[in-house]
Structure 1
Amino acid sequence: MFGRFLLSGGFNTLVTYVLYLLLLSCFSYQISYTISYCLGVVLAYYLNRVAVFKSHRGLLSLLLFPLVYVAQYLLTGSVLWGLVVQLGLDERLALLVAIALMVPVNFLLSRKIFTRKI
């Protein structure tokens, strides 16, 4: 299950990262991150439901999934800010580092939403 999560997450990350890079030519890193992140949530819900966990808990998973991503957005955004502003990391690379740090948190919360496993 974790392998499927990594593959679908890798695909989702690639799609949202390319979108983030494209948006950087028009917007700040914060706005680019927000737009690409929101579109990534929609893709992630579909991939997690269909390819990773191959199940869902009805309306409960539909309602809770965005809450996981709100929490992850805030955490990742804070890490992104720290990497760019505090550490001076290039904003194109900083998002990849922040995403990598959030993978275990995302997996555990997503698994909790789509299955009854703790």
Structure 2
Amino acid sequence: MQEFAKFILVRGICAVFTYGAYLLALQWWTYEVAYVASYVLGIALAYYSSATFVFGEPLKRRAALLFPLVYVVQFVAGYFLIKVAVEVIHVPEWLALAVSIAVTIPLTFVMTRWVVRSA
């Protein structure tokens, strides 16, 4: 449970950092380039902080290369959950993202732990 609490904290910090990097990058680049750069930076920070702070694992090249797949799975699962929430369960659109996040956070935690420890 302590790892999960650390994971939530780290993900919140990563989100704030990524947004700050996006705002900073906007000073020099278009929003498209700023988004891509800040997103990649955010994934790198998430890997580093998850491995070292959350799970206490050394950084590994294989894990770092696999780590972005966690974000791909999270995106696809989140998109599917929002569609089901709105179109099947009839959750209001403004609440659908919260439902998606509530389900994907534990999934993302498990996938992150697996990648960081197994790779």
TM range (shorter): 0.5 to 0.7
1:111 aligns with 2:118: no
Q: Which residue in the other structure is 1:68 paired with?
A: 70
Q: Which residue in the other structure is 1:55 paired with?
A: 57
SS in 2 for 1:110: helix
> Quick check: 1:57–1:113 contact (8 Å CA) kept in 2?
no
Rate the CA distance shift 1:103–1:47 in 2: closer, same or farther, 3 A: same
The whole-number CA distance in structure 1 between the counterparts of 2:80 and 2:55 is 28
Counterpart residue type for residue 71 of structure 1 = V
**Structure 1 vs Structure 2 CA RMSD:** 3.0
1:89 aligns with 2:92: yes
Identity %: 32
Structure 1, unaligned runs of 5 or more: 20-34
Counterpart residue type for residue 68 of structure 1 = V
State the Cα distance separating 1:50 from its structure 2 match. 3.7
Alignment of 1:5-84 (within 5 A): 5-12=7-14, 15=16, 39=39, 41-84=43-86
Matched residues, number:
97
Rate the CA distance shift 1:53–1:99 in 2: closer, same or farther, 3 A: same
Q: Compute the TM-score of the two structures, normalised by the length of structure 1.
A: 0.62
The whole-number CA distance in structure 1 between the counterparts of 2:79 and 2:56 is 29
State the Cα distance separating 1:12 from its structure 2 match. 4.2
Rate the CA distance shift 1:99–1:41 in 2: closer, same or farther, 3 A: farther
State the Cα distance separating 1:57 from its structure 2 match. 4.6
Q: Which residue in the other structure is 2:4 paired with?
A: 2
State the Cα distance separating 1:99 from its structure 2 match. 1.0
How big is each residue's C-alpha offset from its partner over 1:31-70, in whole Å with a ceiling of 9 and x where there is no partner?
Answer: xxxx69x835444324313421233451111111111221
The whole-number CA distance in structure 1 between the counterparts of 2:99 and 2:91 is 13
Structure 1 or 2, whichever has the larger Rg, is 2
How big is each residue's C-alpha offset from its partner over 1:60-83, in whole Å with a ceiling of 9 and x where there is no partner?
Answer: 111111112211211111001222
